[in-house]
Structure 1
Amino acid sequence: MLKVSEDQIAHELDRYLHQALSQTVVVEKADQASVVVLSLAEFERLQDVDDQHFADAARKANVEGYLNQEHEVRTRLATAMRARRLACIRRP
């Protein structure tokens, strides 16, 4: 993961867009990460991971049953998707 300031990316956008094809670029503003630039292939991979996880979570919920179906589905899926998304983003 490459970290750059907003000033750096503003001056050398083409360079950092090219970098994003092979690694995630984090754009920091005032020492806070505010934007992530990643390749379309990585974005699509993350979308596929989300879709697969959503399907797995739905199958699990259907097998285990629900206390309150709507609330339970939303809670389980939101928690699972958040954890999965963070795990994917944090991978080196």
Structure 2
Amino acid sequence: MNAYVSDQPVRLSPLRDEQGNQPRFGLLLEPGRPGMHVGELPAQWLKGLARSHHLLLLRGFAAFADAESLTRYCQGACRDKGEIHSFGL
């Protein structure tokens, strides 16, 4: 299954366990082109997918440069949704 986000294809497929079985939740997202940055995915779109599938695995995307960049991306999606919780890693 493919989805188009900002004219960039993103491959979507159900998660599978070691035996190839599909659990009742989870979705794998992979970039449709090399070097696609995870920040190109609209955070609101990802939130909608997370609500529907409960778990998202983003594999193969270029990552954020640092924790602050990731935080800014997430805060943009959560501004009107209440308190933002951060967990130390």
**TM-score of the aligned structures, taking structure 2 as reference length:** 0.26
Q: More strand per residue: 1 or 2?
A: 2
| Structure possessing the higher radius of gyration over alpha carbons | 1
Identify the structure with the greater helix proportion. Answer: 1
- How high is the TM-score relative to the length of structure 1? 0.25
